[in-house]
Amino acid sequence: MTAVVDKKLMANARLTALFDEGSLQYVASQVEGIGAVSATGKINGRTVVAFANDPSFQGGALGAAEGAVIVDAYAIAMKEQCPIVGIWHSGGARLQEGIGALKPFGDIFRVMTQASGKIPQVSVVLGPAAGGGAYGPALTDIVILGPEGRIFVTGPDVVRSVTGEDVDMLRLGGPEPHGRRSGVVHVVSDTEERAIADTRNITDLLGNQGLLDTSMITDVDMGALLPEQNNRAYDAHPIVDSVIDAGTGVELHPRWAPNIITTLGRFGGRTVGIVANNPLRLGGCLDATSAEKSARFVRMCDALGIPMIVMVDVPGYLPGVGQEWDGVVRRGAKLLHAFAECVVPRITCVTRKSYGGAYIAMNSKALGATRVMAWEGAEVAVMGPLAAIRILHRRRLAEVPPDQKDAVEAELAEEHKITAGGLPKCIELGAVDEIVDPTKTRTAIAAALKAAANPDGSFPRGNHGNIPL
């Protein structure tokens, strides 16, 4: 089969761009003259299977032949136990085949579900992914959206005729709705070439995880990244960047639920997942959306054997009627479930505070955290001392003259810190394992991960799929 070389990068050329130069080999069993193609090749020297819709053939619509190409590609990837990449650009089911075009989608969804948690699955959407073609990417671990990518179950014409809404493909299923509002897309790329490069990088992180090399770990003063005032908001991205090896981080869902950060990167050369509260957004509170976002990420890491580092600075769950109506109980439970079922090592570091139910949810020792460490001065409690004394001493405070109230509250808050026990009490109770210096955090995390590794340097992995129930 001869690759098509043009600036639109149709199926064959997209596969060529994905793989290491000279490594592409087309699957021999595929049929000529259909709207899908599959191949094996290398990404940074490691075997990967990929398939691509061919939009130059009937808009990349899927029928029985195209479905067979994708199902066969999955069979090869499962046999080789290697990552699989889907390059999506399809108008959906091939109408000419009628109801016969729907069965292939069911076959594809079944093999994707069977592969979930067993091999890494990465999707890159470079054109419309409509109808059943929208659910294909959604069933995979990571979804990358190119500048012309559009994901929707029902197209603009049908939406307009049924609901009267005047909408185009961009507003219906482009980077804004799926990168910021729905959470369908993990990474938005500004060019097609960048989307292919992002796909290569993420596939390498998931499929070529490497081994932890503690000799690569050097410490930095992470405490210097916090503001001087404990009640000041700050951006946690520099904290995340200081934990992982320089230049290796890929943030997933950066614009969806930005009050929590989920990042893939390398730590001592080994792929890790980072979960971090971001006090710059909503004060770092957990809410319904951020709980769901982080739960999906935690389950992916556990299923694929990726150890996790959890950087905690959380004041609690976001209160309000809107949160309760938005399902914070149901969706928050997903994060509890995700961490509680984990078998992959995950290290928690409390940098400033961890309060209430959010303390439990952010990979607490009670949920099975491998090791919990805290920086000197960090607070782990039911709630902040000021909020606590306003409840415990509300009658006394009601009698204090207004001009003395701030001073009395400050005094009571300091007394509460002492009586509550602080970090020494947490260590006594087993809620915290050790107090670490911010300048020694990376080496402390490395030691904890090394101690949790199998004798061959690998890590255990969960026996479940990726999408949380």
Catalytic residues: 131-132, 357-358
CA distance 381 to 374: 13
Map residue 261 onto helix, strand or coil. Answer: strand
> Pairing relation of β-strands 371-375 and 379-381?
unpaired
The b/e string for 117-134 (b: 16+ C-beta within 10 A; e otherwise) is bbbbbbbbbbbbbbbbbb
Q: Please tell me what DSSP assigns to residue 399.
A: T
CA distance 399 to 55: 75
Tokens 């989920």 sit at which residue? 262
Closest CA to 184 of 235, 129, 110, 236: 129
Q: Please tell me what DSSP assigns to residue 21.
A: T
Closest CA to 285 of 223, 346, 361, 225: 361
CA distance 324 to 330: 9
- Return the CA Rg of the chain: 25
Helix (H) or strand (E) holding 379: strand 379-381
CA distance 299 to 158: 35
CA distance 362 to 310: 7
* Residues with Cβ within 8 Å of residue 130, at least 6 apart in sequence: 90, 91, 92, 150, 151, 152, 153, 155
CA distance 311 to 366: 17
